[in-house]
Structure 1
Amino acid sequence: MLRTERPGDMLPVYELVSAAFGRHDEAELVNRLRECGAAVVTQVEEEDYEFMGHLLLSPVTINGQEGPWLGLAPVAVHPDWQGQGIGSELIREGLDTALEMDWKAVVVLGDPAYYGRFGFRPASEFGLHCCYEVPSEHFMAMELQTGGLAGLQGEVLYHPLFDEPLEE
């Protein structure tokens, strides 16, 4: 069942995200984004209380300007369920939900071949670049609404929690 995350999902989501990445960093980030209200779109795939996948979208800024734009990160699928289309389902549903909530565009940092299937294009085509030093083709954007990135250019920053060190 693909659905929006609920308050009681916190622990199973933490365990799922930790298993998917093989460490706790991304799971801690998800918790911190949720706690500060920055987890504006969260989706889970679960069956009989077994959590198989999770997606989170949080606001980004462009040249320091807040706007109706989101960053897609992280997307996690439990290792036992990878390669079965769960990540794709989560991404499609997350993008649809963001559009319904009137967000204008989404950025993602990842594999161009994978994310290109959903309509993401190099962010450089929109005049945008990533705050992280990554190959430009791996930083992508898509307009959820026509003109959602029109007239914008510059550096995209993810939520500040993406850059804060985790306490050991």
Structure 2
Amino acid sequence: MLIRTEIGVDAASIDSLLRRCFDDSAEAELVQQLREDGLLTLGMVATDDEGQVLGYAAFSPVTLNDEDKGWVVLAPLAVDERMRGDGLGKKLIYEGMDALNEFGYSAIFVLGDPMYYGRYGFAPAARHQLRCRWPGSEAAFQVYPLAELAFDGVQGQIDFSAPFNRL
């Protein structure tokens, strides 16, 4: 198993993985649109010995009150059904965190299961007076700071890039 940054030839295998892992094609179409719009900050893949993508984590920019703060959102995260329970999602998240930290990003947001993402240090964004546009998402909207002072003096609505509006 190799975990690395995605490259162009991975696109078809990523698309196939996303279509297998989710009930509809929304996540696959989201990643394709993010890629086409130049809004895919980072894509981490886990591949087998033949180069088949078995896990994927996408990171794209978010803004705070229409201002770029060097923050990203993790979405989607997908692991092939055969590989679930082996810690592959954790490895993709941590590799992504390391890469984004090296690139100077200061926070990662996620909209997902608090029990799952809480294991990796994500905490409710509401603790920092940060919210997203989706009503009722307070518990699921979480953040992981990559920099100590990432949230000093800020509050408001986190806006995802336009392709997320189609979900």
Query: Do they fold alike, i.e. is TM over 0.5?
Result: yes
- 2:62 and 2:136 map into 1 onto residues whose CA distance is 17
Q: Deviations over 1:106-145 (max 9, x none)?
A: 1111111111111111101111011112331111112101
Structure 2 counterpart of 1:46? 47
Q: Secondary structure of the residue that 1:137 maps to in structure 2?
A: coil
Does the CA contact (< 8 Å) of 1:62 and 1:157 recur in 2?
A: yes
Q: What is the identity, as a one-letter code, of the residue corresponding to 2:105?
A: W
C-alpha root-mean-square deviation of aligned residues, in Å? Answer: 1.1
Structure 2 counterpart of 1:12? 13
- 1:118 and 1:105 map into 2 onto residues whose CA distance is 13
Q: Secondary structure of the residue that 2:157 maps to in structure 1?
A: strand
Pair 22,80 (structure 1): closer, same or farther in 2 beyond 3 Å: farther
Does the CA contact (< 8 Å) of 1:126 and 1:149 recur in 2?
A: yes
Q: Secondary structure of the residue that 2:54 maps to in structure 1?
A: strand
Q: What is the identity, as a one-letter code, of the residue corresponding to 2:44?
A: Q
Structure 1 stretches of at least 4 aligned residues deviating more than 4 Å after TM superposition:
none
**Aligned-pair distance for 1:46?**
0.6
Q: What is the identity, as a one-letter code, of the residue corresponding to 1:141?
A: V
Q: Secondary structure of the residue that 2:68 maps to in structure 1?
A: strand
Structure 2 counterpart of 1:75? 77
- 1:30 and 1:65 map into 2 onto residues whose CA distance is 23
Q: What is the identity, as a one-letter code, of the residue corresponding to 2:27?
A: E
- 1:96 and 1:151 map into 2 onto residues whose CA distance is 25
Q: What is the identity, as a one-letter code, of the residue corresponding to 1:72?
A: L
Describe how 1:144-163 pairs up with structure 2 within 5 A.
144-163=146-165
Q: Deviations over 1:12-71 (max 9, x none)?
A: 010011111132110111011011111111100011222110000000011111220101
Unaligned runs of 5+ in 2: none
Does the CA contact (< 8 Å) of 1:104 and 1:149 recur in 2?
A: no
- 2:163 and 2:137 map into 1 onto residues whose CA distance is 22
Percentage of pairs with the same residue: 36
Q: Secondary structure of the residue that 1:16 maps to in structure 2?
A: helix
**Aligned-pair distance for 1:80?**
1.9
Does the CA contact (< 8 Å) of 1:122 and 1:137 recur in 2?
A: yes
- 1:151 and 1:70 map into 2 onto residues whose CA distance is 18
Paired positions, count: 165
Structure 2 counterpart of 1:141? 143
Structure 2 counterpart of 1:32? 33
- TM-score (structure 1 length as normaliser): 0.94
Describe how 1:80-95 pairs up with structure 2 within 5 A.
80-95=82-97
**Aligned-pair distance for 1:158?**
0.7
